[in-house]
Structures are given as C-alpha cells and as structure tokens.
Amino acid sequence: MKVKELANAANVNPDTVRFYTREGLLQPTRNPDNNYQQYDAEDLRRLRFARKARQLGFSLPEIRQILARADDHHSPCPMVRDVFQQRLMAVEREIAELQQLRARMISALSAWQEMPDGTPDGHTICRLIEHWDDPSAESCCEESES
C-alpha cells in the first residue's frame, strides 16, 4: 500500500501516516521501481494500534515502548496497566484541581458583579483580582471611590 491507501484503510489522513513513519512506528519498505514507500498489513495494524493508544492518552514514547516489547515477543500488558493507572491518577488530580479553579472563578465572578471598577492609583493594579476573596472588599472599594 502507498501512503494514501494506508491512510484510507486506517481512516486517517496521509499526514498522519507520514508522521507515524517519521516517528518510527511504521516501517515501510521502498519499492525498487519507483522508490515509493510501501506499507503492508503489519503497518496498518500498528497504525490502528497507535491511534487507539493515543485516544487513551498514551504518549508516543510510551507507544514506542509498547510496540518494542511486542516486537520482542514480550507482553506489554503489565506495563500498559501500570502506565495507565498512573495516568488515570494524574488525570483525576488534574480534574480535582480544575474543579477547584472553577469554584474560585465562579466565586470571583460573583464578587465582581458587586465591585466597582477602579483605576490604577499606585496602590492597586486591578481591584477585581486583588480583592476578589476579601470579605470587606466591597465596602473598602466603595469607601475609596467616595
């Protein structure tokens, strides 16, 4: 198969095939008649595998490791489980951090509805940011505006 044929078979665009080839995940041969890269069923299998692994969050170096273990006839499954479990914990931490950020953003936006705009005066840059979590910010800012 040529690049376009492999891309069609894997339902990706030709640039994806070229990318994975440059990254060493696909190993086409060269057609001696025209010097075109020739892909086979193994390349199609590897390309489909790499795309699925990327959808699950595996990095290219991790995919390379998985394929290398499989190429050496060793099961990559224990490594996949370990990496995936660690990645899932990291994603869950990131989700918790994002939820905390979301709560702070909602809180700030709510506080900002009642806060007046201010002009930088040498003591403040933007009162909204500097006083969003200050319970007395509204009365403080109102007094300085008067």
Q: What average pLDDT does this structure show over 32-39?
A: 92
Confidence of residue 122 (pLDDT cuts 50, 70, 90): confident
pLDDT value of position 136: 61
**pLDDT tops 90 at residue 117:** no
**pLDDT tops 50 at residue 143:** no
Q: Is the pTM of this model over 0.75?
A: no
Q: What average pLDDT does this structure show over 49-53?
A: 96
**pLDDT tops 60 at residue 145:** no
Residue 59: strand, helix, or coil: coil
More confident position, 82 or 140: 82
pLDDT value of position 130: 87
User: What percent of the chain is modeled with pLDDT above 90?
Assistant: 71
**pLDDT tops 50 at residue 22:** yes
- Answer for the pair 116, 126: CB distance below 8 angstroms, yes or no: no
Tell me phi and psi for residue 30, to 5 degrees: -105, 130
CA-CA distance, 107 to 100, in Å (whole number)?
Answer: 11
**pLDDT tops 90 at residue 118:** no
Which has the minimum average pLDDT: 41-55, 77-91, 113-127?
A: 113-127
Q: Which two tokens stand for residue 120?
A: 């930088």
In the DSSP assignment, the letter for residue 26 is: -
CA-CA distance, 94 to 73, in Å (whole number)?
Answer: 35
